[in-house]
Amino acid sequence: MSFTTAAALARRALVAAAIAAGTMAAAATAAFADTTVKWLYIETNPEVIQYWKDIIAKFEKAHPGVKIETQFLENEAYKAKLPTLLQSSDPPHIFYSWAGGVLHAQVDSGVLQDVTADMAKGWGDTYNPAALRAFTYKDKIWGVPNHMSEIDFYYNKKLFEKAGVDATKIKTWTDFLAAVKKLKDAGIVPITVGGADKWPVHFYWVYLAIRNGGLPAFQNAIANKDGGFAGANFVKAGQLFKQLVDLEPFQPGFLAAKWPAFAGTFGDGRAAMLLSFSASTPKLQRLNAADQKGIPLEDIGLLHFPIVEGGTGKPTDTMGGINGWLVSKNAPHEAVEFLQFLTNAENQRELAARNLQIPAAKGAEQAVNDPLLKIAAESLAASTYHQNFYDQDLGPAVGRVVNDATTDLASGATTPEAAAKQIQEAWAQEH
């Protein structure tokens, strides 16, 4: 073989190697770009899920090589399994959050990704400040707010009319108890509640504590002042709740009823009221009704939780959720990019326009047009103090005790004093 021929062969080999290397590099780049973002949710409303599918389709089209993979867990299973999932070798990248103490525990366990730097680029300015504060802990932002909710009474107008109850006259707790008595006298179950999950029961005790003592009472309790959660304000909340419990207002078998199935009791017309979420309740009563039609929306009214005579809480103090999404520690940055897209102003306005939830983005709530949801949205906009659910705000350990103690109150298994003491002991042990 001549030197020239050998040189030519060598050049060809080098070119072939370069081409092969380039091909391998391109393949490696393409493989790197193929990212799957795992999203874990607890939503049961098919309309919300369809909205998400629409958002995912738009995001994936704009981000070739990125796939959003969704996974559902039922509410209680989610709470039970999430800690283990987050410590596993294959945790979800995005997952649901109620903020509050559960979020704080997750931060302290080191399983979350800090999104402060991303929020500092103007992203954080797009949200309701109260919603963003809920995801702020130790001066860092750990989550992305998505929506807010208010807990209100929803009532069946026809059953109220049958019992001679005028909802516009229900202003105080005494008025409310009188309405419950009238419904009972008319042979109508006044209220449906999900006692098996327990947290729907804690709404009553928490709202009564808010109406009786307002924000100062809660601030003193978490500071272990004035007896903490065993103090007079919280004992009084239990006593007021017992006034309702003594009237036996709930549907038969309420302690075995689960969320959201108990909403079907309302949708079937077998109970006059339920205390539940601002956005999902009208839809869930329909989906869980025997005929899956439920009560026509025009026959459903909304009643804000009544004030307590002599209480220092304001009628404009509200209770509900501030909900959003967290990112696990080692999630790809595409997870953060997707959340930024999911909760941008345009998509949050679409969320509102479909009357699915009250969005956390500034101004987006103005797109709400459903009459019942609009009432709640306006109430939240005027809220003087919005209290997150105690079972979330106080952390998982104390939250479980709150739910257990308040459900025991509803069943008659404990007293207002013992329930308050039990909650305080749990809080003091944690703090």
Tens of pLDDT, residues 65-100: 999 999 999 999 999 999 999 999 999 999 999 999
Per DSSP bridges, beta strands 94-97 and 35-41 are parallel
Residue written as token pair 């949801």: 373
State the CB neighbour count (10 A cutoff) for residue 406. Answer: 28
pLDDT at 2: 42
Query: What is d(CA 151, CA 202) in angstroms, rounded to the nearest whole number?
Result: 11
State the CB neighbour count (10 A cutoff) for residue 429. Answer: 10
Phi, psi angle pair for 322, to nearest 5°: -125, 105
pLDDT at 279: 86
Tens of pLDDT, residues 26-51: 333 334 448 999 999 999 889 999 99
Per DSSP bridges, beta strands 136-137 and 151-156 are unpaired
pLDDT at 33: 46
Please name every residue paired with 97 in a beta bridge, in sequence order, or none if there are none.
Answer: 324
pLDDT at 29: 36
pLDDT at 359: 95
Is the domain defined by 35-148+320-387 classed in CATH 3.40.190.10? yes
Query: What is d(CA 405, CA 73) in angstroms, rounded to the nearest whole number?
Result: 26
Residue written as token pair 């953060």: 336
Phi, psi angle pair for 342, to nearest 5°: -60, -40
Contact call for residues 419 and 409 (beta carbons, < 8 A):
yes
Residue 144: burial class (beta carbons within 10 Å; 0-12, 13-18, 19+): buried
**Residue ranges in the chain whose pLDDT is less than 70:** 1-33
Cα atoms found within 13 Å of the Cα of residue 239, Cβ hemisphere only: 10
Residue written as token pair 């009972």: 184
Task: Give the tokens for residue 36.
Answer: 């799957």
pLDDT at 20: 40
Tens of pLDDT, residues 153-188: 999 999 999 999 999 999 999 999 999 999 999 999
Task: Give the tokens for residue 338.
Answer: 């997707």
CATH of 151-319+389-430 among 3.40.1710.10, 3.40.190.10, 3.40.50.2000, 3.30.470.20: 3.40.190.10
Helix (H, G, I), strand (E, B) or coil at 222: helix
Where are the domain boundaries for CATH 3.40.190.10 in the chain? 35-148+320-387, 151-319+389-430
C-alpha 160: how far from its chain's center?
Answer: 29
- This prediction has a pTM of 0.85
